Amino acid sequence: MPEYTHFDAQGNAIMVDVSRKEKTERQATAMGRIVMAPACYHAVKEGAVQKGDVLGIARVAGIMGLKQTSALIPLCHPLPIEQASLDFGFIDQECAITVSCTAKTFGATGVEMEALTGASIALLTIYDMCKALDKGMVLGDIHLQKKTGGKSGVYEHRE
């Protein structure tokens, strides 16, 4: 079992001291998906949702969200984000849209939480922009796909 570093000897929650950790280039990519009704899926794919460019807005929202991670997750460190990107894919047979969010920094702690937050916010934005068409959309499979840098090195999600 790994040592849990977000607690002191008395069991109190603490912010981890990363001041002595080596600064390295760190990158993380998180994935997620949203499944929706066929009519809603085709409206998004064809750019026909009345509220506007669903994926364009979701991309900006995801980037904005990942930059706010330390304000949302209590013990996360505020990080200088050096690069952020979001990409979307379509799975026609499932009426699903996938999101891939990548964050990069040069620092003493990783950007996994930022990538996961960005992916989650992008999916929530898709839901918000499409809820008039389909309130039954399902968000899921949000996970860390890959991370590099730091003491623990490379991690890749295994299907």
pLDDT at residue 117 in the model: 98
Domains and CATH numbers, the chain: 24-146 (3.30.70.640)
Tokens of 81: 């984000």
pLDDT along the chain (159 residues), means of 10: 71 84 93 98 95 96 97 93 98 98 94 98 98 97 96 91
pLDDT at residue 152 in the model: 87
Helices (H) and strands (E) counted in the chain, each on its own, are 4, 5
**Residue labelled with tokens 């934005």:** 125
Tokens of 114: 């930022």
- Are residues 26 and 148 in contact, defined by beta-carbon separation less than 8 angstroms? yes
pLDDT at residue 4 in the model: 59
pLDDT at residue 1 in the model: 45
Is residue 134 part of the annotated active site? The answer reads no
List the catalytic residue out of 8, 92, 128, 141.
Answer: 128
pTM: 0.92
